[in-house]
């Protein structure tokens, strides 16, 4: 019996190859979308980690000698004893044959996670590294080293090109710097009790990791973007799988009825169908993972380029098949298929043996479920609203997203049903009336595909709005914050007054950047002293400000705070803030700050110097028409090391290029999700085509040509897609709002203003319509070319 039943089940697919193909391809595409995004995500994260590690010291605080290039190794021991978690680094140029490499000597046992070498060390056999005078380098540098030095070389692709890593002892020897170290890397986690730096090592200064933080925020936002996309693509995929499976079961209702009538028990039938499904899902999932791999491989060069632009570090742009997304892809295919099958099997099991497989019976049956669906949609949307008002935390943010997503999807068929009903009631012609009525009947069969389209479209609108808003805001922010052409790092300059005098005649405007870390309103924060000139007045944009804000700050009558401080301390315009002991000033402006995790307040330079006479400017922003000439003067005449001069234009370019690349990846994913959604429409249409004939044949027999009918079929699909796309826009904007105003605030502490991009949405709608048109064309073409005999069969056979 089992063999015969399996044979019968399989025979359906043999006879209906197109249906079989659509089921497998549908499952495969959903898996591909999911695993492709996963692959890009995982790979991007891995590459970011490698790149971040390559720049590790830039992101961790460091202790550097106050004078000169190096400090004695004893400082390290003294600081460790005093409770400082630091790790020594020696760095220098290493001649190897004709080329010079950057040699970084580290102490493997104390090097903090996140520092340059920690990623590479994690992959390495530590004993081997410590034993001989081993060097570690990327593939290219390793080749150079092998030819030039006797030391054994370990190749590790995660090491930035041109860099060599060695144990500190080995490096000191190679660099001829016995007993000396270049700097100490400060671990991000420090014990609560430690003796002050000035006591333990007065000749060492703490250099805060800054500058990199701007870029670090960008990285985080890109991660969030990819994570959100992964999440959304998962939802789209689940809907598509659900649609594919549901239709596959629907098509075989007649066969199930016959098999049961012939005496096959229901439970046996269900077990066999599940078995069949798992085999199919594994097959399709496997194909999907390969497809996803291809997609990722095509998109990945962009991701790698993003990282290269971001960090200037070389990252391997090749894709590795990671077990995580292999497995999650297969789990998605099989799990999704089973979840989808559960409801279909449940319906089959409750179907009376002799139920008709007719079209309207199906519509009526789903009408009963309609009130449950409406209730669920309302509940979810209300929950989203409630959470938005009352919820807090990142989890609430993601819960809102999920509620919106599911609620929106569930509400779609109901909204469409209402619209189609209105259309039917309003229309007067006979064909239009039939068209609307027939569309209503089609709706249950298409609704899962349309839900997938809705989600794909909404995800696109949401994510592009988020990325574009972020880009606009961030570009504005960079313009405001990086308005000076050059920044000079004065940390290593002894006579800062001399530097200022030197600059006075050469730069158009000097902005000394005075800052201390302090507590404001009981929170850790930074206090800045600013020399208020035209740069500030012209470039800064406030979230909220009083009219004469700069005048009042310049006069020492008011203070400016950033959004983080205002939010966390609950301070608004006019509230008084104790900026320094004995200095309480009203807040005259609140400024958006997207490159900074903590609170900030800005007072005039005069007030700052009065409050903190010992603090001198660690950095200067310089306005000049000719940054290149000024840079050369600083290096050649003043003797500043060129590494102390930061070209902000370059950082800005990097940051913007990150956005461009983020965009191209987002764009590609947009097109991909839409394409997959369009395919799920095609799939549904093809599957429904056979069920459609009994509905179309009478109309044809009464004198409507096949071409006309085919045209109406296309029109219907495009119309449904258009309605769906139009409904998707508000949903997508809601999603964007949640991402920008809830998730971002929770994740980063600031709220991004939301911008609208109507042209972009118009383009998306056109894209969706084109996709729907394509999807509808083939089934319609088949209908228009169908032999009359096939249509006539409708009247001749029992169905």
Partner 1 sequence: MLLEIDDITKSYPGPDGPVPVLRGVTLALGLGESLALTGESGSGKSTLLHLVAGLDGADSGRILLDGADVTALDDRGRAALRRTKVGIVFQQFNLIPSLDIAANIAFQARLGGAPDAERTAGLTKALGLEPHLRKYPEQLSGGQQQRVAIARTLAASPRLILADEPTGNLDEKTSDEVMDQFLALVAETGAALLMVTHSPRLAAKLGRHAHLSQGRLA
What residue ranges bind partner 1 (CB under 8 A)? Answer: 356, 358-361, 363-364, 429-431, 433-434, 437-438, 440-441, 694-695, 697-708, 788-789, 791-792, 794-796, 799
- Which of 167, 100, 173, 102 lies closest to 643 in space, CA to CA? 102
Judged by CB, which is closer to partner 1: 312, or 788? 788
Judged by CB, which is closer to partner 1: 99, or 366? 366
Judged by CB, which is closer to partner 1: 312, or 358? 358
Helix, strand or coil, per DSSP, at residue 156: coil
> From the CB of 724, what's the least distance to partner 1, in Å?
20
Helix-then-strand count for the chain, H and E? 27, 20
Judged by CB, which is closer to partner 1: 433, or 539? 433
Q: Within 10 A of 160 (CB to CB), how many other CB atoms are there?
A: 24
Q: How far is CA 25 from CA 283, 728, 774, in A?
A: 10, 25, 17
> From the CB of 255, what's the least distance to partner 1, in Å?
20
Judged by CB, which is closer to partner 1: 195, or 370? 370
Judged by CB, which is closer to partner 1: 213, or 441? 441
Judged by CB, which is closer to partner 1: 375, or 792? 792
* DSSP assignment of 317-355: ------HHHHHHHHHHHHHHHHHHHHHHHHHHHHS-TT-
Judged by CB, which is closer to partner 1: 414, or 431? 431
Judged by CB, which is closer to partner 1: 179, or 788? 788
Helix, strand or coil, per DSSP, at residue 102: strand
Judged by CB, which is closer to partner 1: 438, or 563? 438
Judged by CB, which is closer to partner 1: 625, or 798? 798
> From the CB of 729, what's the least distance to partner 1, in Å?
29
Q: How far is CA 404 from CA 99, 242, 447, 450, 537, in A?
A: 58, 19, 18, 16, 42
Do residues 656 and 474 touch, judged by C-beta distance below 8 A? no
CA distance 676 to 669: 10
Residue 758 CB partners (closer than 8 Å, separation 6+):
none
> From the CB of 697, what's the least distance to partner 1, in Å?
7
Judged by CB, which is closer to partner 1: 392, or 690? 690
- List the beta bridge partners of residue 511: 621
> From the CB of 715, what's the least distance to partner 1, in Å?
16
Sign of the Cα torsion 220, 222, 226, 231 reads: positive
Q: How far is CA 316 from CA 153, 196, 395, 419, in A?
A: 19, 42, 34, 52
> From the CB of 708, what's the least distance to partner 1, in Å?
8
Q: Which two tokens stand for residue 197?
A: 């730096």
Sign of the Cα torsion 94, 97, 100, 103 reads: negative
Q: Within 10 A of 539 (CB to CB), how many other CB atoms are there?
A: 14
Judged by CB, which is closer to partner 1: 664, or 706? 706
Q: How far is CA 92 from CA 113, 181, 203, in A?
A: 22, 10, 21
CA distance 648 to 321: 38
Sign of the Cα torsion 671, 675, 678, 684 reads: negative
Helix, strand or coil, per DSSP, at residue 512: strand
Residue 119 CB partners (closer than 8 Å, separation 6+):
49, 50, 53, 158
Axis crossing angle, helix 17-54 with helix 648-701, rounded to the nearest 10: 170
The CA R_g of the chain, rounded to the nearest whole Å, is 33
> From the CB of 374, what's the least distance to partner 1, in Å?
22
> From the CB of 266, what's the least distance to partner 1, in Å?
24
Residue 475 CB partners (closer than 8 Å, separation 6+):
656, 659
Judged by CB, which is closer to partner 1: 346, or 795? 795
> From the CB of 450, what's the least distance to partner 1, in Å?
18
Judged by CB, which is closer to partner 1: 433, or 518? 433
- Which of 365, 405, 353, 363 lies closest to 384 in space, CA to CA? 405
> From the CB of 712, what's the least distance to partner 1, in Å?
13
CA distance 608 to 565: 18
> From the CB of 788, what's the least distance to partner 1, in Å?
4
> From the CB of 695, what's the least distance to partner 1, in Å?
6
> From the CB of 10, what's the least distance to partner 1, in Å?
24
> From the CB of 786, what's the least distance to partner 1, in Å?
11
Q: Look-up: residue for tokens 């019996």?
A: 1
> From the CB of 701, what's the least distance to partner 1, in Å?
6
Judged by CB, which is closer to partner 1: 234, or 362? 362
Q: Are strands 523-530 and 509-520 parallel, antiparallel or unpaired?
A: antiparallel
> From the CB of 594, what's the least distance to partner 1, in Å?
55
Do residues 140 and 161 touch, judged by C-beta distance below 8 A? yes
CA distance 680 to 481: 47
């Amino acid at each position: 019996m089992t063999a015969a039943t399996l044979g019968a089940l399989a025979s359906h697919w043999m006879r209906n190859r197109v249906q079989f193909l659509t089921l497998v391809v549908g499952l495969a595409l959903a898996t591909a979308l999911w695993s492709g995004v996963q692959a890009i995500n995982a790979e991007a994260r891995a590459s970011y980690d490698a790149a971040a590690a390559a720049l590790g010291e830039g992101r961790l605080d460091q202790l550097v000698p106050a004078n000169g290039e190096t400090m004695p190794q004893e400082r390290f021991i003294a600081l460790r004893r005093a409770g400082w978690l630091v790790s020594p680094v020696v760095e220098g140029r290493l001649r190897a044959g004709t080329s010079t490499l950057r040699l970084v000597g580290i102490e493997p046992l104390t090097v903090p996670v996140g520092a340059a070498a920690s990623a590479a060390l994690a992959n390495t056999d530590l004993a081997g590294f410590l034993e001989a005078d081993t060097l570690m380098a990327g593939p290219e540098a390793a080749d150079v080293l092998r030819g030039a030095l006797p030391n054994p070389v370990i190749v590790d692709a995660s090491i930035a090109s041109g860099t060599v890593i060695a144990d500190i002892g080995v490096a000191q020897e190679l660099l001829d710097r016995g007993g000396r170290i270049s700097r100490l890397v400060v671990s991000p986690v420090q014990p609560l009790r430690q003796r002050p730096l000035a006591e333990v090592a007065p000749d060492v200064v703490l250099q805060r990791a800054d500058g990199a933080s701007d870029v670090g925020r960008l990285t985080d936002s890109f991660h969030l973007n990819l994570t959100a996309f992964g999440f959304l693509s998962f939802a789209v995929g689940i809907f598509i799988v659900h649609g594919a499976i549901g239709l596959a079961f629907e098509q075989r209702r007649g066969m199930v009825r016959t098999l049961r009538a012939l005496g096959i028990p229901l439970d046996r039938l269900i077990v066999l169908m599940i078995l069949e499904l798992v085999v199919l899902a594994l097959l399709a999932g496997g194909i999907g993972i390969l497809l996803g791999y291809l997609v990722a491989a095509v998109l990945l060069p962009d991701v790698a380029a993003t990282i290269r632009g971001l960090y200037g570090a070389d990252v391997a742009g090749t894709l590795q098949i990671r077990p995580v997304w292999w497995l999650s892809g297969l789990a998605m295919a099989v799990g999704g298929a089973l979840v989808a099958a559960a409801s279909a099997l449940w319906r089959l099991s409750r179907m009376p043996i002799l139920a008709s497989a007719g079209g309207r019976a199906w519509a009526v049956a789903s009408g009963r479920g309609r009130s449950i669906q409406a209730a669920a949609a309302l509940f979810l949307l209300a929950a989203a609203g409630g959470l938005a008002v009352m919820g807090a935390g990142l989890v609430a943010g993601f819960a809102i997203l999920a509620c919106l997503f599911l609620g929106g999807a569930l509400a779609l068929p109901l909204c469409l049903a209402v619209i189609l009903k209105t259309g039917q009631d309003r229309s007067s012609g006979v064909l239009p009336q039939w068209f609307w009525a027939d569309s209503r009947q089609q709706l249950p069969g298409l609704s899962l595909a349309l839900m997938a389209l809705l989600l794909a479209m909404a995800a696109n609108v949401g994510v592009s709005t988020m990325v574009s808003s972020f880009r606009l805001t961030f570009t504005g922010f960079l313009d405001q914050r990086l308005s000076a052409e050059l920044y000079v790092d004065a940390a290593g300059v002894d006579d800062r007054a001399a530097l200022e005098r030197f600059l006075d005649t050469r730069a158009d405007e000097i902005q000394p950047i005075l800052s201390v870390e302090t507590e404001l309103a009981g929170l850790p924060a930074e206090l800045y002293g600013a020399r208020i000139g035209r740069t500030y007045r012209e470039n800064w944009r406030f979230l909220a400000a009083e009219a004469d804000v700069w005048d009042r700050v310049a006069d020492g009558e008011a203070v400016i705070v950033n959004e983080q401080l205002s939010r966390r301390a609950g301070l608004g315009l006019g509230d008084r803030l104790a900026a320094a002991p004995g200095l309480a000033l009203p807040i005259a402006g609140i400024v958006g700050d997207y490159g900074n995790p903590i609170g900030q307040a800005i007072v005039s330079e005069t007030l700052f110097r009065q409050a903190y006479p010992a603090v001198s400017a660690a950095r200067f922003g310089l306005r000049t028409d000719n940054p290149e000439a000024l840079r050369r003067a600083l290096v050649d005449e003043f003797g500043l090391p060129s590494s102390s001069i930061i070209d902000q234009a370059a950082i800005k370019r990097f940051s913007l290029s990150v956005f461009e690349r983020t965009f191209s990846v987002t764009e590609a994913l947009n097109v991909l999700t839409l394409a997959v959604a369009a395919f799920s429409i095609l799939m549904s249409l093809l599957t429904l085509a056979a069920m459609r004939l009994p509905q179309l044949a009478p109309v044809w027999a009464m004198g409507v040509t096949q071409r006309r009918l085919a045209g109406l079929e296309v029109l219907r699909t495009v119309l449904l897609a258009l309605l769906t796309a139009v409904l998707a826009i508000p949903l997508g904007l809601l999603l964007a709002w949640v991402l920008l105003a809830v998730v971002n605030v929770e994740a980063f502490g600031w709220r991004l203003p939301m911008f609208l991009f109507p042209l972009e949405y118009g383009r998306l709608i056109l894209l969706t319509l084109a996709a729907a048109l394509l999807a509808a064309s083939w089934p319609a073409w088949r209908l228009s070319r169908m032999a009359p005999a096939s249509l006539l069969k409708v009247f001749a056979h029992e169905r």
